[in-house]
Amino acid sequence: MESLSNKKKVLEQKPLNLAERMYLPTIVKGLSTTISHFLKKPATIKYPEQVREFSINWRGMHSLKRDEEGRERCTACGLCALSCPAEAITMIAAERKADEKHLYREEKYAAVYEINMLRCIFCGLCEEACPKEAIYLDGPIVPSDYLRKDFIYGKDKLVEAPLTNDL
């Protein structure tokens, strides 16, 4: 059929010439290519010991932030759980007692705050939804584990370390 677009290209398959039929010249060429990689720096790294630099918009493990006085910012409004497309976040709210003012910034706080790291897709919508700037995905890669239950991270793993007094 005649080509309408003029883009058709018929590839010509020529029979192999003598050098190609002998294989040896091309084999030598191939061998020199592979050996040139032998002493090159590996493209891979020893991962758990060495970690590559993350990009600035990297989203890793979540952390629940504290304010300047070391109080937890989260007020358990539930917007993060609501915005989460994977439904990975659950929480139980509680009311702040009078003697807990140094622990929680708002009068309502999250008594239990759990993120299922197997469900989380690290989209960052929780961080966008949060009105209190309490959650950020600024942590490292979530480590692997053996049991499903160990992937449900509670406040013990998520909340930032408290401010130390001597600072």
Partner 1 sequence: MDQYFIIEKFVLITILFAISLLIAMYSTYAERKVAAFLQDRLGPNRAGIFGILQPLADGVKMFMKEEIIPANANKWLFMVGPGLAMLCACIGTAVIPWGQDLNIGGRIVPLQVTDINVGVLYIFGVVSLGVYGVMIGGWASNNKYSLLSAIRAASQNISYEVAMGLSIIALLLVTNTLSLREIVAQQQGWHWNVLYQPLGFIIFMVCSFAETNRAPFDLPECETELIGGYHTEYSSMKLGFYLFAEYINMFVSSTVMATLYFGGYNYPGMVWVAGQVSPNAAALIGTGIFFLKIFTFIFFFMWVRWTIPRFRYDQLMNLGWKGLIPLAIINIIITGIFIAVRNF
Q: Which of 3, 5, 6, 34 binds partner 1 (CB under 8 A)?
A: 34
Q: How far is the CB of 147 from partner 1 (least distance, A)?
A: 22
Stretch that binds partner 1, among 6-14, 35-43, 60-68, 125-133 (CB under 8 A): 35-43
Q: Is 46 in the site for partner 1 (CB under 8 A)?
A: yes
Q: Which of 3, 5, 17, 33 binds partner 1 (CB under 8 A)?
A: 33
Q: Is 38 in the site for partner 1 (CB under 8 A)?
A: yes
Could you tell me which of 93, 67, 62, 84 has the C-alpha nearest to residue 157? 62
Could you tell me which of 164, 104, 99 has the C-alpha nearest to residue 134? 104
Residue 93 forms beta bridges with which residues?
A: 110
Rg (CA), the chain: 29
* E-assigned strand segments in the chain: 63-64, 89-95, 108-116, 135-136, 152-153
Q: Is 27 in the site for partner 1 (CB under 8 A)?
A: yes
Q: Is 18 in the site for partner 1 (CB under 8 A)?
A: no
Stretch that binds partner 1, among 28-36, 51-59, 107-115, 158-166 (CB under 8 A): 28-36
Residues 6+ apart with CB under 8 A from 128: 83
Q: Is 163 in the site for partner 1 (CB under 8 A)?
A: no
Residue 145 CB coordination number (10 Å): 11
Tell me 33's DSSP state: H
Q: Which of 31, 51, 111, 141 binds partner 1 (CB under 8 A)?
A: 31
Binding site for partner 1 (CB under 8 A): 23-24, 27, 30-31, 33-35, 37-46
